[in-house]
Amino acid sequence: AYLVEATKAPRGRFMPPSPAGPSSKHCRVLKKLPLKGIGEDQREAAFREAQLMRRISRGCPFITQFSEVFLGKQGTILCLVMEFCSGGDLRTLLRNRKDEGGLRLPEELLLGWTAQIGLALRHCHASGVLHRDVKPENCFFRAPGGDLLLGDFGISCSLDERSMAKTCVGSPLYLSPEIVNQEPYSWATDVWSLGVMMYEVAMLQPPFKGTNICQVAFKIVSAVPEPVDVCYSEATRGLINGFLDKEPGTRIPLEQALVTPPLGPWAEHACGSHGMAWPPPQGFGTAVAARSGLVQRLRTSTGLHTTAAAADSPERGSPGGFAALHELYEDDFEAYEEDFDPCSPPRAEDMYDDDFEQASAASSASYEEDFEELSDAEPEAPELDGLAEAPVRQHVSMELGPEGLAVAESLGVVSFLEGLRAASQRPVAAC
């Protein structure tokens, strides 16, 4: 990603930021996602998915805003122009807190941040979108001490199964038990990840630790985490435990958590601070999806990428299927954008929307020379790390012993790790 300052160049394009760094609100983040090696249909699906996320982001103040989406380098790069969050990410804050002695963060901050990310997830879910990668690195402070925003949506569901494998290997601490067990997953998997993050904010360490993905995956499906510090209220500790219920069917629903103590009052305050209705209305388009039978149509079963709706109800909608969602919701989005008035303070990007539109209206080609000035080298797709060449079962046996291997097989851990190898098309070991 690059910082791009909203300063108009003589030809109507954007100039690179000055050497002194970002000046203020005028900066944007340019994220470039390589699309090489995939088919034309997949590229178009990824582009439609990014456009859908741009529209969805405008309906919630707790999601990093997409200012523009376009294709560059003759369609080989998907470019996202996004809001710049000057307060940094939550991971950096937690790391600094731990380095400074590990004092527990106030419960007010824990609940306030969880409410903001919970509202962002609820908005995504109501619009038919799973985030799938909720973690501190993907949560950003709009300004130092400001709102915490959910960001870094992996525009990857329309690409290939390697993307999910990269997520599993890169962020194994936040995987839900249903993903490890290779079961159909839905909204509850994001709730699990929110619970893991909430636990980490409270304890400054993740609930399930290990030196490799084999140990982490085994603990996720079988271990009970260390109890949350008693400096937090019983209600807050109960909420964390409810989010970390290993059974997705009995895990606390996000909708329930956001309207009941201890999280409810903080969610209400977050909505009130942005002039949003309380309780928040159900997301637009969800009832349309349910009425049209989209819940059934979009259920898929493709190995590691398996997704399914939690329930066939207007309140649930359906994850996945971005191409179909885009077509189904297109009229809804256009009508929604025309009427949308969140009654919230104007966001910085609103001041520059016209500039962005003028700079990109003719074609995405007008951006390419500026991007080449920012970076001569095209960004490489991230590689899967921590994967050795030895057989999976052998490494699981070395890590857990023969009895542990039997338990890991019964819990689906071995088949999950073997699925990573197949999805990544590389030799994968358990550790």
Quote the percentage of the chain above a pLDDT of 90: 35
Q: Does domain 1-83+346-381 have CATH number 3.30.200?
A: yes
Domains of the chain: which residue ranges?
1-83+346-381, 88-318
pLDDT above 90: residue 278? no
The reply to whether domains 1-83+346-381 and 88-318 share a CATH topology is: no
Residue 2: per-residue pLDDT: 57
- Mark whether 350 is an active-site residue: no
Q: Indicate the pLDDT class of residue 202, thresholds 50, 70 and 90.
A: very high
Q: What is the DSSP string of 37-98?
A: TS-HHHHHHHHHHHHHHHHHHTT-TTBPPEEEEEEETTTTEEEEEEE--TT-BHHHHHHHHH
Contacts of 309 (CB under 8 A, 6+ apart): 186, 295, 298, 299, 316, 317, 318, 319
Q: pLDDT tens across 141-170, in order?
A: 999 999 999 997 755 444 444 555 455 644
Question: Given the structure tokens 């509202």, which residue do they identify?
Answer: 119
Q: pLDDT tens across 415-430, in order?
A: 888 777 666 654 333 3
Q: Which of 41, 89, 99, 133 is catalytic?
A: 133
ω into 10 cis (within 30 of 0): no
Q: What share of the chain is helix, strand, coil (3-state, %, to 5)?
A: 50, 10, 45
Q: Indicate the pLDDT class of residue 400, thresholds 50, 70 and 90.
A: confident
Contact between 117 and 270 (Cβ < 8 Å)? no
Q: Indicate the pLDDT class of residue 1, thresholds 50, 70 and 90.
A: low
Q: pLDDT tens across 19-41, in order?
A: 445 544 678 888 888 887 778 88
Indicate the average pLDDT of the chain: 72
Q: Indicate the pLDDT class of residue 87, thresholds 50, 70 and 90.
A: very high
More confident residue, 190 or 279: 190
Average pLDDT over residues 397-413: 80
Residue 226: per-residue pLDDT: 97
Average pLDDT over residues 211-225: 92
Entry pTM: 0.68
Q: Does domain 88-318 have CATH number 3.40.50.300?
A: no
Residue 168: per-residue pLDDT: 60
Average pLDDT over residues 310-334: 35
Q: Indicate the pLDDT class of residue 390, thresholds 50, 70 and 90.
A: low
